[in-house]
């Protein structure tokens, strides 16, 4: 164990002995020097090296901080421990900040030994670390000397794959500084084509911690890329932790060049050997190839020597001559074909051989029935000849001549326009139809004034270019539509197609069809399609609105009906519920009536019940009907009635419907507190040429009904369509207001049926609207009264006014009348049975065909009432079965159905029903119809 040299600064001998005792107890071998003054302390440090210094903080001559400063100056690496009796916390911290190793209080000297041990251990570790660092620095210095003197390029990288060392050879090779190569800068030297592969190899080696080897091109200081062999191995620190990679690059360009030269030489040698082999093969097969060529050509080929002996004939020649090669080779032409020596082609061949000139000739050979084209080529060894069968070409030429004649006839017929021209726009000739199409004369054509390019509007020139390109590629273009400028400056639509003639395909024949009529039809069809699309859109919108208008009242009806069935209400609530159901039921009936009116309008079955009508009373009645709606919106009604207006001949119900619809619309679209003006006047003036045929005897006096409002008005776009069926301004109105868009359409139709006119005016949205109806005043009188029969052409079918239910029941007598009611709907059966039985009838019901036949046998009814919409069989089939079984008696039959179409009514009457009644059926109407069919009409009173 090493003896410690300890310097103690202490002025108390007793404390010095105590410290020495603790040191001895601590097991130290030591040599202790004790001093008291500054001078002794400095002298001891100058004289001897100490391993540790122990000092009291408070001394008579100087304090511990001064001693610490002297020690740091003289021997900075020696541990310094304060041993003091009193040392506050702040002083202790100050000593440590000043560089003291530790402090020990004298009352706790037990800490002295561990403190000295720790201080000595720290000194030892520090010395070892410095020694290791010195060794590493020395090693690195040796490495750099060795690396810089090595004949290869050496590099190193850290754990982040960044270059942190490049030796002198590397820097001299690249001509760059160390700073430029550090990090990723070294990558700039790699060839761009090699960089991705190099980085991939480098990355994989890094990830695996393995060695790698690669070849790549590295840029030298002069810009030349040199081939190098690169290697890299992982390097580790003394503690075996990974430190990065170290590697080298060696210039192998000379080796690479030598390898490439050897490879090139080998390739040249192989190419030369291959070429020699191919040349030998070519020479060996030359005769075979020539033979194959001669055999594969479409012409017959023959060769004769100077004595006219056959030396070669290909297969085509054998087929043409009808002789095999064995029969021909070595034989003279005149021996095989003695008849040929008198033909022109033989004489031409003789001339070619004798005069050594090439001869070409066409001839028809009757023996073979063929046209032959012959070409003879003389040589020193004889004569070669190509014989081509041109029979098909000759036939094609003949057919072409015939086609040209047909084309001439077609052009002269002038069914379509035909022109002869070229791709540059020139028109060389044209028929009269084309000149008519474009409006030019033949004289202008002959003067060269027509150019089809100049006659083409700019927007069609690209189509012409495309067509010409197609024709030049295929000979013909696909017909396409375009326009021509006519001579008068107008345009004319045409369909054009053309073919290009001759091999250069510059001249053409074009066919032009005038599309004026067709285009006009297309426009009409397009307009019609748009109108149909608009009608279809209106239909779809109408169906959506119809669903809303049907479901809204049904909602209230169904809701109140369920409430009345499920609980009891007081009399007031019950009355309100029944009124709601009744009001919505009538609303649905009105809706259906409007739809039926429209249906009758569309089918032309609408009729009028004409009588004398007071116009003012009719308009006032409409106002009274709408009084609740007027009051609800606090609308001011301003009337202006001319008391001299008097009466007109009209259908009272339809006229009131006109007034009601106009007023209803005005109230609906006028905001709360607005104003609606209603005026009725007699005016003078004719109704114009649109007057109805049913009103030929009308005077020029007219009644004018005007309804104007201060409401939301009508847009300029919608105003022309305001009287169209199913039309409404827009979907937002449909959501804000009820209605199907039928009211104004019915107004116009009913007014026109009366021989009148109606018009709508509006300054625009938010500016109100004005509707004006004009009706003719009828001048026919019958002694102060009016006779429908007396109206002549004005007489149209009448209908009785509805009969009050109570009066019908009281005055009807169906006693003893046997009625069989057939319907698949149980509620309808119950309703009909109750109504008829209350009037004294004997009623039996049935819901199927089998039940009907059994009931007829049992009841022998006076009247049949059948729903014609029954299933399997339907009402019409059922009536036929009844008629076929009861041939001796025809029971009167009533048809009723929820389908109200006119064609259904006609079909039912044609198939044997006496009367047709659409649902819903009023009780009085049912009783009246049954009484009429049973012959009790005299007992039925109103």
Alpha-carbon span 347 to 196, nearest angstrom: 80
Identify whether residues 614 and 597 lie together within a single domain. Answer: no
> With bands split at pLDDT 50, 70 and 90, how would you rate the model's confidence at 800?
very low
pLDDT score recorded for residue 420: 87
Last residue of a domain, one of 343, 358, 389: 389
Mean pLDDT of 204-220: 92
Which positions ≥6 away from 402 have C-beta within 8 Å? none
Q: Burial, 304: exposed, middle or buried (Cβ in 10 Å; 0-12, 13-18, 19+)?
A: buried
CATH number at residue 827: 3.40.50.2300
pLDDT score recorded for residue 346: 79
Identify whether residues 371 and 441 lie together within a single domain. Answer: no
Identify whether residues 25 and 123 lie together within a single domain. Answer: yes
- Between vectors from CA 75 to CA 72 and to CA 79, what angle results, nearest 5°? 75
Q: Which domain holds residue 418?
A: 407-514
Identify whether residues 577 and 656 lie together within a single domain. Answer: no
Last residue of a domain, one of 219, 251, 283: 251
pLDDT digits (tens, 9 = 90+) for 479-512: 999 999 999 999 999 999 888 876 556 788 888 9
Distances, alpha carbon 52 to alpha carbons 123, 280, 659, in Å: 10, 103, 128
How do the residues of the chain divide into helix, strand and coil, expressed in percent and rounded to 5? 50, 25, 30
Alpha-carbon span 817 to 757, nearest angstrom: 51
Identify whether residues 220 and 345 lie together within a single domain. Answer: no
pLDDT score recorded for residue 223: 92
pLDDT score recorded for residue 741: 66
Asked whether the predicted pLDDT for residue 781 surpasses 50, the reply is no
Identify whether residues 824 and 914 lie together within a single domain. Answer: yes
Identify whether residues 229 and 325 lie together within a single domain. Answer: no
pLDDT digits (tens, 9 = 90+) for 220-242: 999 999 999 999 999 988 788 89
The DSSP line for 13-32 is: HHHHHHHHHHHHHTT--EEE
Number of domains into which the chain is organized: 7
Share of the chain above pLDDT 70, in %: 83
> With bands split at pLDDT 50, 70 and 90, how would you rate the model's confidence at 797?
very low
Identify whether residues 775 and 811 lie together within a single domain. Answer: no
- Cβ atoms of 302 and 312 within 8 Å: the answer is yes
The pTM for the full model equals: 0.36
Q: Which helix (H) or strand (E) holds 596?
A: helix 571-603
Asked whether the predicted pLDDT for residue 783 surpasses 50, the reply is no
Asked whether the predicted pLDDT for residue 243 surpasses 80, the reply is yes
The SS3 call for residue 417 is: strand
In a domain, 399, yes or no: no
Identify whether residues 614 and 600 lie together within a single domain. Answer: no
In a domain, 136, yes or no: no
The SS3 call for residue 836 is: helix
- Cβ atoms of 868 and 908 within 8 Å: the answer is yes
Mean pLDDT of 234-262: 88
The candidate with the shortest Cα–Cα distance to 328, out of 313, 314, 315, is 313
In a domain, 759, yes or no: yes
In a domain, 799, yes or no: no
Alpha helix positions (H), 241-332: 253-296, 315-321, 325-328
Flag the least confident range among 187-196, 781-790, 843-852.
781-790
Residue bearing the bigger pLDDT, 217 or 556: 217
pLDDT score recorded for residue 902: 52
In a domain, 311, yes or no: yes
CATH number at residue 383: 3.30.450.20
Q: Which helix (H) or strand (E) holds 917?
A: strand 915-918
> With bands split at pLDDT 50, 70 and 90, how would you rate the model's confidence at 865?
very high
In a domain, 575, yes or no: yes
pLDDT digits (tens, 9 = 90+) for 300-315: 888 889 888 988 888 8
Mean pLDDT of 761-773: 91
Which positions ≥6 away from 111 have C-beta within 8 Å? 104, 105
Half-sphere exposure of 620 (CA within 13 A, CB side): 9
pLDDT score recorded for residue 57: 82
Residue 155, beta-bridge partner list: 166, 247
Mean pLDDT of the residues in the chain: 81
Rounded to 5 degrees, what are φ and ψ at 723? -100, 5
Alpha-carbon span 142 to 126, nearest angstrom: 24
Mean pLDDT of 202-206: 91
pLDDT digits (tens, 9 = 90+) for 275-288: 878 776 776 776 66
Q: Strands 382-389 and 417-422, how do they pair?
A: unpaired
Distances, alpha carbon 879 to alpha carbons 9, 306, 831, 844, 933, in Å: 145, 112, 22, 17, 16
Identify whether residues 635 and 704 lie together within a single domain. Answer: yes
The candidate with the shortest Cα–Cα distance to 677, out of 697, 664, 663, is 663
Alpha-carbon span 745 to 723, nearest angstrom: 5
- Cβ atoms of 70 and 42 within 8 Å: the answer is yes
CATH number at residue 624: 3.30.565.10
The SS3 call for residue 456 is: coil
In a domain, 718, yes or no: yes
Identify whether residues 775 and 631 lie together within a single domain. Answer: yes
Identify whether residues 702 and 788 lie together within a single domain. Answer: yes
- Cβ atoms of 526 and 498 within 8 Å: the answer is no
- Cβ atoms of 397 and 404 within 8 Å: the answer is no
Which positions ≥6 away from 192 have C-beta within 8 Å? none
> With bands split at pLDDT 50, 70 and 90, how would you rate the model's confidence at 602?
low
Instruction: Read off the DSSP letter of residue 156.
Output: E
Alpha-carbon span 780 to 30, nearest angstrom: 159
Mean pLDDT of 687-699: 42
CATH number at residue 536: 1.10.287.130
Long-range contacts of residues 377-383, Cβ cutoff 8 Å, at least 24 apart: 377/352, 378/352, 378/353, 381/305, 381/306, 382/303, 382/304, 382/305, 382/306, 382/311, 382/353, 383/303, 383/304, 383/349, 383/352, 383/353
Alpha-carbon span 553 to 590, nearest angstrom: 12
The SS3 call for residue 476 is: strand
Q: Strands 359-365 and 310-313, how do they pair?
A: unpaired
Last residue of a domain, one of 514, 530, 565: 514
Mean pLDDT of 21-50: 89
Alpha-carbon span 605 to 905, nearest angstrom: 12
In a domain, 216, yes or no: yes
- Cβ atoms of 770 and 762 within 8 Å: the answer is yes
The candidate with the shortest Cα–Cα distance to 372, out of 351, 393, 348, 399, is 393
Alpha-carbon span 623 to 702, nearest angstrom: 22
pLDDT score recorded for residue 685: 61
Query: First-to-last CA distance in the chain?
Result: 150
Alpha helix positions (H), 311-390: 315-321, 325-328, 333-336, 344-355
Q: Could you check whether the bond before residue 873 is cis, i.e. omega within 30 degrees of 0?
A: yes
Is the dihedral angle over the CA atoms 862, 867, 871, 874 positive or is it negative? positive
> With bands split at pLDDT 50, 70 and 90, how would you rate the model's confidence at 901?
low
């Amino acid at each position: 164990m090493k003896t410690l040299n300890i310097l103690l600064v202490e002025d108390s001998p007793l404390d010095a002995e105590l410290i020495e005792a603790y040191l001895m107890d601590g097991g130290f071998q030591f040599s202790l020097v004790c001093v008291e003054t500054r001078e002794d302390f400095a002298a001891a440090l100058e004289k001897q090296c100490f391993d540790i210094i122990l000092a009291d903080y408070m001394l008579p001559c100087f304090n511990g901080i001064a001693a610490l400063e002297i020690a740091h100056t003289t021997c900075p690496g020696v541990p310094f421990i304060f041993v003091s009796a009193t040392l506050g916390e702040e002083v202790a911290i100050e000593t440590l900040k000043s560089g003291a190793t530790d402090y020990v209080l004298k009352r706790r000297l037990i800490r002295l030994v561990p403190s000295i041990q720790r201080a000595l251990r720290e000194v030892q570790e520090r010395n070892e670390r410095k020694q290791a660092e010195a060794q590493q620095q020395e090693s690195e210095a040796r490495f750099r000397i060795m690396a810089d003197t090595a004949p290869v390029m050496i590099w190193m990288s850290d754990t982040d794959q960044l270059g942190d060392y490049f030796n002198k050879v590397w820097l001299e090779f690249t001509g760059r500084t160390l700073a430029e190569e550090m990090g990723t800068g070294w990558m700039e030297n790699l060839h761009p084509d090699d960089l991705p592969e190099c980085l991939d190899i480098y990355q994989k080696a890094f990830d695996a911690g393995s060695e790698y080897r690669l070849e790549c091109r590295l840029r030298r200081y002069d810009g030349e890329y040199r081939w190098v062999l690169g290697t890299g191995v992982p390097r580790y620190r003394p503690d075996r932790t990974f430190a990065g990679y170290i590697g080298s690059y060696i210039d192998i360009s000379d080796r690479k060049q030598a390898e490439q030269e050897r490879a090139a030489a080998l390739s040249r040698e192989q190419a030369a050997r291959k070429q020699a082999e191919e040349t030998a093969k070519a020479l060996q097969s030359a005769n075979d190839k020539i033979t194959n060529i001669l055999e594969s050509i479409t012409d017959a080929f023959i060769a004769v020597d100077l004595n006219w002996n056959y030396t070669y004939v290909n297969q085509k020649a054998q087929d043409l001559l009808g002789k095999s090669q064995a029969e021909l080779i070595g034989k003279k032409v005149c021996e095989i074909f003695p008849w040929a020596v008198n033909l022109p082609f033989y004489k031409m061949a003789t001339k070619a051989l004798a005069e050594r000139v090439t001869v070409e000739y066409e001839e028809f050979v009757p023996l073979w029935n063929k046209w032959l084209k012959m070409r003879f080529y003389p040589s020193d060894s004889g004569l070669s000849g190509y014989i081509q069968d041109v029979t098909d070409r000759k036939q094609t030429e003949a057919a072409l001549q015939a086609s040209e004649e047909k084309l001439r006839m077609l052009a002269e017929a002038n069914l379509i326009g035909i022109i002869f021209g070229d791709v540059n726009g020139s028109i060389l000739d044209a028929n009269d139809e084309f000149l008519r199409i474009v409006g030019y004369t033949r004289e202008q054509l002959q003067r060269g004034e027509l150019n089809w390019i100049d006659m083409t509007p700019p927007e069609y020139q690209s189509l012409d270019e495309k067509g010409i390109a197609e024709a030049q590629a295929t000979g013909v273009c696909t017909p396409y539509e375009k326009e021509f400028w006519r001579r008068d400056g107008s345009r004319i639509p045409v369909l054009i197609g053309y073919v290009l003639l001759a091999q250069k395909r510059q001249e053409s024949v074009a066919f032009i069809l005038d599309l004026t009529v067709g285009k006009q039809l297309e426009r009409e069809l397009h307009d019609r399609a748009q109108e149909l699309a608009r009608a279809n859109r209106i239909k779809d919108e109408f169906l959506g609105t119809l669903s809303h208008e049907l479901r809204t009242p049904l909602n209230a009806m169904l809701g109140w009906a369920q409430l009345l069935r499920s609980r009891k209400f007081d009399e007031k609530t019950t009355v309100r519920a029944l009124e709601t159901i009744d009001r919505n039921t009538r609303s649905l009936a009105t809706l259906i009536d409007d739809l039926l009116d429209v249906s009758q309008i569309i089918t032309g079955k609408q009729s009028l019940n004409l009588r004398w009508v007071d116009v003012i009373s009719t308009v006032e009645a409409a106002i009274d009907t709408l009084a609740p709606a007027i009051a609800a919106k606090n609308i001011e009604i301003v009337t202006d009635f001319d008391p001299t207006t008097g009466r007109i001949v009209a259908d009272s119900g339809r006229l009131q419907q006109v007034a009601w619809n106009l007023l209803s619309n005005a109230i609906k679209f006028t905001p709360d507190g607005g104003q609606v003006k209603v005026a009725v006047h007699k005016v003078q003036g004719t109704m114009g040429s649109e007057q109805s045929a049913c009103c030929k005897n009308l005077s020029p006096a007219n009644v004018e009904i005007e309804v104007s409002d201060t409401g939301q008005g009508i847009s300029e776009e919608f105003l022309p369509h305001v009287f169209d069926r199913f039309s409404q301004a827009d979907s937002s109105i449909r959501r804000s207001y009820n209605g199907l868009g039928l009211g104004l359409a019915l107004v116009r139709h009913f007014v026109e049926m009366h021989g009148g006119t109606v018009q709508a005016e509006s300054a625009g949205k938010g500016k109100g609207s004005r509707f004006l109806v004009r009706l003719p005043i009828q001048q026919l009188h019958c002694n102060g009264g009016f006779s429908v029969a007396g109206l002549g052409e004005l007489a149209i079918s009448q209908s009785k006014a509805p009969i009050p239910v109570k009066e019908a029941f009281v005055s009807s007598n169906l006693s003893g009348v046997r009625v069989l009611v057939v319907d698949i709907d149980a509620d309808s059966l119950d309703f009909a049975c109750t109504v008829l039985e209350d009037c004294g009838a004997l009623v039996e019901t049935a819901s199927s065909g089998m039940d009907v036949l059994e009931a007829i046998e049992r009841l022998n009814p006076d009247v049949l009432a059948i729903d014609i919409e029954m299933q399997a069989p339907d009402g019409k089939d059922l009536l036929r079965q009844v008629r076929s079984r009861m041939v001796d008696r025809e029971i009167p039959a009533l048809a009723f159905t929820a389908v109200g179409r006119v064609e259904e009514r006609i079909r039912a009457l044609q198939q044997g029903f006496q009367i047709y009644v659409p649902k819903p059926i009023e009780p009085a109407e049912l009783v009246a119809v049954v009484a009429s069919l049973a012959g009790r009409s005299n007992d039925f009173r109103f």
